[in-house]
Chain A
Amino acid sequence: MSDIEITLNVNGRDRTVSVPPRMTLVDCLRDVLRLTGTHVGCEHGICGACSVMLDGEPIRSCLMFAVQAEGHSITTVEGLLKEDGELSDLQDSFWECHAMQCGYCTPGMLVASQSLLNENPEPSEDEIREAISGNLCRCTGYQQIVEAIQMTAKRRREGASHG
């Protein structure tokens, strides 16, 4: 039951850490790598606050042990920022629409939303609600989040047509 050394690529950087097998990925990200943007909500796979991308797909980082992420790439909310540190269009839309209140579910929501838009650039409202239905928010009632995702899709569409 001794610690295991693993290397995982987090937000584009290879990180090598030594962790006990039972440490969840979210605890590794937060407590070992000090990437505290990803939040812990329920630790039993319901609330979605800990959502990160594993090899580009959204997953719950409380339902995965860090040792299982060896050799995989992880994207957290910190990795959604553009390379120059500026906000991504999705993050900017979340701000513009005030798609949060307390901000606790926000990183997970952004990850779920980003994953949706990667796969489906023009989602319907139903598709948006489906994509974020695994992420619970207690503040907003979800509407401003839905609007932020719609705004991002619209901006991308318009940006593409102008560009």
Chain B
Amino acid sequence: MKAAAFDYVRASSIDEICRLLADAGDDERKIIAGGQTLVPLMAMRMARPDMLIDINDVAELAGIHDRGDHIAFGAGTRQRALERSDVVSERLPLLAKAVRNVGHIQTRNRGTIGGSIVHGDPSSEIPLAALALDAKLVLRNLSGETEIAIDGFFEAAMVTNIEPDQLLTEIRIPVWQAARVGTGFHETASRQGDFAIVAAAAQVELSDSGSIVRAAVTVGGAAPSPVKLHTLEAALAGVSPDGIDALMNLVDQDIDPDTDVHATAAYRQRVARKLVSRALADAVEEAGK
């Protein structure tokens, strides 16, 4: 399990990275940040880039910035930094709950928020939280910077809509400013710390009367990529929390589960409903406090 040979460049600036990506020609050039997803794929020779561009030295690619209506994360910010961040736990509790389920301490010490999003594993946790909260992704290439919505970024299992010459530089996750906001995150994995078999993330805002003003709900492991439950979200708006369970059949509208060695499609479908229900219940309870 040794990677195929590659060239290695330790980049010192975003510009340098973009130039290296732009100059790739027929070569496959890959960004390496934490490497926690990429390196195993390379060890199994399922990924064999010609060049690795190491972005770990680029200071501006790491950091957590509170910008009022959103929190901006440098793409190279370690998952462990998210876990330890007061900004994250206070302002983005859904992300805080998600990140606690990511891998193990050793992998969170290297793994980054950007890497987790760019790889687009269908059952990884950080994309679920980011997708639920309608994060914006900042992509850079030599022509400049583009901000795109995360919804639609996840194309298929391990495939995301980023061009070969683009670098994800920043993830901007909106903060819900309302008083009564709650979050819930539930997942089931074969073992604690594994990729989820099914995971659900939910954030709700309640009105003074206790009805749902808006809800954000995502599910992982129940489709080739993380999915936002648009149908359910729309139906939840204006509903009293007592009415949530009656809407759970809507979960099926946006998911497309598959069978693999870990679980059957039927299992993923049924469990998705249950975990969405739990995540929403937690969110409502938290918002009501």
Whether chain A touches chain B in the assembled complex (some CB pair under 8 Å): yes
The chain A residues found within 8 Å of chain B, CB to CB, are 1, 4, 20-22, 24, 27, 43-45, 48, 51, 54, 57-60, 62-65, 67-68, 70, 112, 115, 130-131, 133-134
- Interface residue stretch chosen among B65-73, B101-109, B274-282: B101-109
Question: How many residues of chain B have a CB within 8 Å of chain A?
Answer: 30
Residues of chain B from 176 to 204 with CB closer than 8 A to chain A in the complex: 192-193
Chain A residues in 8 Å Cβ range of B107: 45, 60, 63, 134
- What is the chain B residue whose CB lies nearest that of A129? B192
Contact call B106/A59, Cβ cutoff below 8 A = yes
B246 touches A (CB below 8 Å)? no
Contact call B7/A60, Cβ cutoff below 8 A: no
In the complex formed, the residue of B with least CB distance to A116 is B105
Cβ-based interface call for B40 (8 A): yes
In whole angstroms, how far apart are the Cα atoms of A1 and B40 in the complex? 20
A1 touches B1 (CB 8 A): no
Of the candidates B43, B80, B103, which one forms a contact with A44 in the assembled complex, judged by CB atoms under 8 Å apart?
A: B43
Asked whether A20 lies within 8 Å of B5 as measured between CB atoms, the reply is yes
Is the pair A58, B56 in contact by a Cβ cutoff of 8 Å? Answer: no
Q: How far is the CB of B192 from chain A (nearest CB, A)?
A: 6
Task: Give CA–CA (A130, B193) in the complex, Å.
Answer: 9
Whether A63 contacts B39 by the Cβ 8 Å rule is: yes
CB contacts (< 8 Å) of A57 on chain B: these are: 80, 109
Q: How far is the CA of A24 from the CA of B103 in the complex (A)?
A: 20
A60 and B8 form a contact (CB under 8 A): no
- Give the chain A neighbours of B106 by CB distance below 8 A: 48, 51, 58-60, 112, 134
The answer for the CA separation of A34 and B7 in the assembled complex, in Å, is 25
Is B58 positioned at the interface, with any CB of A under 8 Å from its CB? no
| Nearest CB in chain A: distance from B115 CB, A | 12
Q: A64-B110, A70-B10 are in contact. Are A21 and B52 (CB under 8 A)?
A: yes
Nearest to B80 among chain A residues (CB) is A57
In contact, B35 and A68 (Cβ under 8 angstroms): yes
B35 near A21 with CB under 8 A, answer no
In the assembled complex, the CB of B159 is this many whole angstroms from the nearest CB of chain A, namely 21
Q: Which 9 A-B pairs have the closest CB atoms?
A: A134-B104, A21-B8, A44-B40, A43-B1, A22-B3, A63-B39, A57-B109, A1-B5, A58-B106
Chain B positions 32-56 with a Cβ under 8 Å from a chain A Cβ:
32, 35-36, 39-40, 42-44, 52, 54, 56
Chain B residues whose C-beta falls within 8 Å of the C-beta of A60 in the assembled complex: 36, 106-107, 110
| B85 CB to nearest A CB, Å | 15
| From A4, A24, A48, A133, contact of B8 by CB (8 A) | A4
A96 CB, min distance to chain B CBs, angstroms: 25
Looking at the assembled complex, report how far the CB atom of A148 sits from the nearest CB atom of chain B, in whole angstroms.
18
Which residue of chain A has the shortest Cβ distance to B41 in the bound complex?
A44
Q: Beta-carbon contacts of B8-47 to A below 8 Å, as 1s and 0s?
A: 1010000000000000000000001001100110111000
Instruction: Report if A68-B7 is in contact (Cβ < 8 Å); known contacts: A58-B105, A63-B107, A115-B105.
Output: no
How far is it, in angstroms, between the C-alpha of A21 and the C-alpha of B52 when the chains are bound?
9
A64 touches which one: B7, B10, B39, B192 (CB < 8 A)?
Answer: B39
